[in-house]
Structure 1
């Protein structure tokens, strides 16, 4: 049985995924898990031929900073290591440029404020 925190996380990821699909991105994989880290969503931005690794963060309130602020350098390194692992296993994306985006959701998940930061951090 999932914990409440995991259920909320899954709901936030679903909202982010639907938002990105509405923006024209195509889902490649969700919840890619390795020993070195996890990637919430992997998408293809066909308009730019870019493989996009997306970190989704949710905060009900911003007392301790925004949702996107919570993606610190340690988290970025984990995401980059997981992305390197993914690319090592998926040669079909060898020719693609990669980008790391962060989707921050804040407030109530019924009507969240969505903040999409493209190219949030560099490899």
Structure 2
């Protein structure tokens, strides 16, 4: 059985690079997408074993809220865990992410230990 991968969705290549470095340090396999549209295309393919999505919220064109909603509308991905990863850390932002369908929330700058705990929780299912 193939190991579950993490799908990183972020329009900023610096954020993708930083998250990839964390995942590489723990030998966690990953894919990345630079937009919500690209993420949905990857998730609609049958050949990826994504176990959790790290979703940036503030992206152009299709933001993280819209992407999560579209992901939830895909029957095969309706239960896929999504962790919102965002710089939006104001009062109510966590709740807005959860209402949009995210399973969890982590604010930038990322606490690596917290991220790894959340990833382990979802990848061990």
Q: Same fold (TM over 0.5)?
A: no
| TM-score of the superposed pair, with normalisation by structure 2 | 0.37
State which structure, 1 or 2, has the greater radius of gyration over its C-alpha atoms. Answer: 1
Return the structure number with greater strand share.
Answer: 1
| TM-score of the superposed pair, with normalisation by structure 1 | 0.37
